[in-house]
Amino acid sequence: MRKFSLIALVGAALVVVLGLLFGTPYYTLWRARDAANARDATTLSSYVDYPAVRESLKTNLHDELSRQMDKQRNNAFGALALALGGWVSDRVVEALLTPEAVAAMLRGDSTGLPPAPGAPAPRDVTPPPQTDSSASQTAPAAPADNTASGASDASGSPDGKRPRTTTQTEFQDFNHFLVHVSRSDRPARVVTFTLTRRNLVQWRLTAIALPPL
């Protein structure tokens, strides 16, 4: 009897440890999404490492501007506009790095990065009216441990149907947890959030990868 109790105790302890190690990022994501849906900027900010996210956004934006400049090599005006855009990239990052902007991206209401100067607008930002068959299109497959979908807070799509936000999650490694967010009316526009383990139970948002233009 005592041996059985000891095994049960060890088993319960193991479940608790595994829950702390691998369940806490899901809890952090749930709390952050709940704060985003409630427009609770104070609570949301407690889960965000703003200096780390700022650096990730700067890298993301600078890389995207470089890619767009490569595409505009034969267009002198477009290349000049993109080059000038680099001067204000830090201000763009600051505009994206607000609790309201982060909340909108978590809800799927925003893909974050606006079109760069001189670059064509993304094709799927304003989609044409969808038929019943196309409206059921989901986000592209990605390695994921868990998938959850819910109605977006954004206004409905042109055909009157409310777009749905799709969230896919995966562990990149022991200390990094990825969250891929997209919307049913623009499934190719995926925003990826990186949560980083701070200790056994604490996770913080440390990076945001925006979709290409």
Structure confidence by residue, pLDDT tens digits, 71-102: 666 665 555 555 555 555 677 788 888 899 99
- Kindly report the backbone phi and psi dihedral angles of residue 163, in degrees, each rounded to the nearest multiple of 5, phi listed first: -65, 150
Percent of the chain scoring above 70 in pLDDT: 62
Tell me the mean pLDDT in the region 113-142: 42
| Interacting residues of 165 by C-beta distance below 8 A, sequence separation 6+ | 107, 108, 149, 150, 151, 152, 181, 182, 183, 184
| CA atoms of 203 and 157, how far apart (whole Å) | 34
The pLDDT mean for the chain works out to 74
Residue environment code for 156-191, b if the CB has 16+ CB neighbours within 10 A, otherwise e = ebeeeeebbbbbbbeeeeeebbbbbbbbbbbbebbb
User: Which residue ranges make up each domain of the chain?
Assistant: 13-122+133-209
**3-state class of 23 per DSSP?**
coil
Residue 124 DSSP label: T
Closest among 46, 37, 27, 54 to 169, alpha carbons compared = 27
One DSSP character per residue, 146-162 reads EEEEEE-SSPPPTTSPP
pTM: predicted TM-score of the whole model, two decimal places: 0.69
| CA atoms of 97 and 52, how far apart (whole Å) | 11
More confident site: 175 or 121: 175
Q: Which residue in the block uniquely carries the two structure tokens 């090599």?
A: 73
Tell me the mean pLDDT in the region 43-58: 92
Handedness of CA 48, 52, 54, 57 (dihedral sign): negative
Ramachandran bin of 131, using left for φ above 0, alpha for ψ from -120 to 50, beta for the remaining angles: beta
Percent of the chain scoring above 90 in pLDDT: 31
For residue 175, what pLDDT is reported? 94
Tell me the mean pLDDT in the region 136-155: 42
